[in-house]
Amino acid sequence: MAVQFDNNNLYAKAKLGRILIDNKKESRGLKMLEDTAEKGLDMGQTYLGEFYEKKKQNLKEAVEFYSMAARQKRGYYSHAAYHQLNKLKGKGLINKDVVIKDIFEYHRNECKYETEEKFEKIL
């Protein structure tokens, strides 16, 4: 018997969405990620940020989704989103009119306990 996909499991939906995008089924995967991000899943928001940054080269959208995830302050994916924002900021790729100061203040204190290498691995 095949395993059935639970459409209500946001975590599984975000993972599958990312897999579909990586396997050239972008439309289906994007719909799944958008649904999870809209419902507030920081993982889905972080993956959408990655999609817009790396696949679409749309930094405005990437920053928007990374910011949503980072502001949730929920742990791994929020920290990973912050890390990506920090990298983009360091390269001068974030417009000055984008308000993200609150994110940097919070995560600066939190990152005292984490290493940059952990966040590099998930994205």
Boundaries of every domain in the chain: 10-122
Whole-number Å distance between alpha carbons of 10 and 90: 32
What's this model's pTM, rounded to 2 decimal places?
A: 0.81
Query: What pLDDT was estimated at residue 65?
Result: 97
Question: Per this entry, what is the length of the chain?
Answer: 123
Residues 6+ apart with CB under 8 A from 60: 95
Question: What's phi and psi for 74, nearest 5 deg?
Answer: -100, -5
Query: What pLDDT was estimated at residue 39?
Result: 97
Write out pLDDT tens, residues 88-108: 988 988 887 777 878 877 766
